[in-house]
Structure 1
Amino acid sequence: MRRTTAVGLALVLQASVLQGCSPSATPPPATPQPALAASPALPAAEGGPGTASPAPSSAGPCTIFPADNVWHADVSRLPVSRDSAAWVASIGAAAHAHPDFGTASGIPVTNVPAGQARVKVTFAYAGESDPGPYPIPRNARVEGGATAGGDRHVIVQDTAACKAYELYAASVQPDGSWKAGSGAVYDLRGNALRTSGWTSADAAGLPILPGLPRAEEAAAGRIDHAIRFTAPKTRKAFVWPARHAASEATDAALPPMGARFRLKASVDIAKYPPQARAVAQALKTYGAILADNGSPWYFTGTEDAKWSNTQLDALKALKGSDFEAVDASLLMVDPNSARCRAG
């Protein structure tokens, strides 16, 4: 859904931690996919100004953010937020969850080889986008397909450089360049957040890639990160690690962007089929982060033929009342970093 570009109200609070990141829980490296055809080349460019932390060492395998990143934080024992009941009610306590991903839906990820040619990207919201050129091939996969409407996200992962390039409302042009609403570049070895008040390819100013369950994770039986989801109405506010608000509403009963929820420990998922059980367990352990305005309890993952839509349909039995908001501010080390405290 389209978002406003007004700067949100930072609501983060510093506090001591009860449960946090596990340094031993190293996220798995991405599974390479066949390289796509290169696009016309432009000179390479350094990462844009949206993230301000120094570049980390290039040593070590490329993972989707470090183990101490907030996306990998175990939130199963964090205290319930005092706003939990109101926020769940505003999203829909009786509304059923929906896995907005599978064999023919979700956000596809395009993997590119080392040295992928960079092309020009023109942004509608250039002031809050990382400038190009980006290494996006002409035939990069678009959310919903080449002729789709909607958000039209493009996610490109360059494992060799250990970076992710994300676009919103993206369309390839006849010369191989791209037009997009907004875009962001992420160093996957670092914990940098975007400039406070900046959007990204997502309304909350968050990266999209780390919040997508992937079929290979489910096949391994473990998804070790929070999951991106949407809510119909949000507040003109954002909480860490989000960087941007996407509403003009000031009702405190509405959740801010970045709010973190988890599936209640009491929800029985033992009889779920394997793929649905892996997703549900991730929702219990790592939770979900509110990233955009949209349908209630719509959880986003990758589009991948290896998903089983029949298995994922089991998640539709979950209702809003099965979730609770948690106080993720207890994980925060620095409001301008995604690094979180160790438990």
Structure 2
Amino acid sequence: MSATRITVRGESPYEVVIGTGVLEELPGLLGEKVRTVAVVHDEALPEIAGPVCKALEEAGYTACPLPVPSGEAAKEIGVLAGLWSDFARLGVTRSDAVVGVGGGATTDLAGFAAASWLRGVRAVLVPTTLLGMVDAAVGGKTGINIAEGKNLVGAFHPPSGVLCELSALATMPHQDYISGLAEVIKAGFIADPKILELVEADPAGAASPTGTHTRELVERAVRVKAEVVSADLRESGLREILNYGHTLGHAIEKAEDYRFRHGHAVAIGMVYAAELARLTGRLDAATVERHRTVLTSVGLPTGYRADAWPALREGMRVDKKARGATLRLVVLDGLARPGRLEGPADELLAAAYKEIAE
């Protein structure tokens, strides 16, 4: 089956290549000037990092594998500092490149390492998870976490290309795959309702990397993100709609010390945002219920602990969409009609949380 190419436009256009056997295109994305390639990869993925390094070596590059911790443990300042030292040891110059291989946390880290080394070197991302393919690796947002919050330190650094090797999805743990599906469903609610229809038609298939519609779901979700990012690289307005469900979701992740899967947190956050929209008269009850039905059908959570609200409210204060003391949330004014809710009263926020409290 041939590869699908989706262009992300902007000041530095690049392609997201989706299919099987797409790793062979990696050398072409790096170009002729590159000599040394730092391959930042999840330490748990030698079976994927190995072929990447082999492809680079066969193309004449010097490939230097640099394993990093799995998951959010990779997005720490100590790990980043270690990569900077590795780059110095390897002699990575401004004409060389970084390749990030792994899930969203790994590609976030690799991208930020590339953005910050010598004020910016070329990066190519090879996401190996559903979350990485449809969200983290597309759009040029890079970053790490600090104790005060997730992704508060980072940079916009568009990659030179993204390779989505669909065969890698078959190796994912089931719950990790389901977590990524939350971002796919999010794309359905904010922009492409056909995604919701595909999930509703075959929830079991949607929840499996071997499902009938897996490739179409990935492609549709990537197109949604590519179109939004192309119009607003630096999150000055439109791009904020991609954060649907993320305000409460990030607060849950922080409260759980980042041991809670991102997609699971976002799923809860989407239901919360839908309830907020309903309570303010912006969204009908049927669409709110559709959130719960679609998410539940694939095994995603839709509620969270009742006693957690004070900690979650505090965590929402440092959300990236906030402006000064004013909290701003992405909500829906209807299916595929995202909008913003600015400065909601604490009483309203608490009332919406009661609707999802368990």
TM (norm. structure 1) is 0.29
Higher Cα radius of gyration: 2
Greater fraction of residues in helix: 2
TM (norm. structure 2) is 0.28
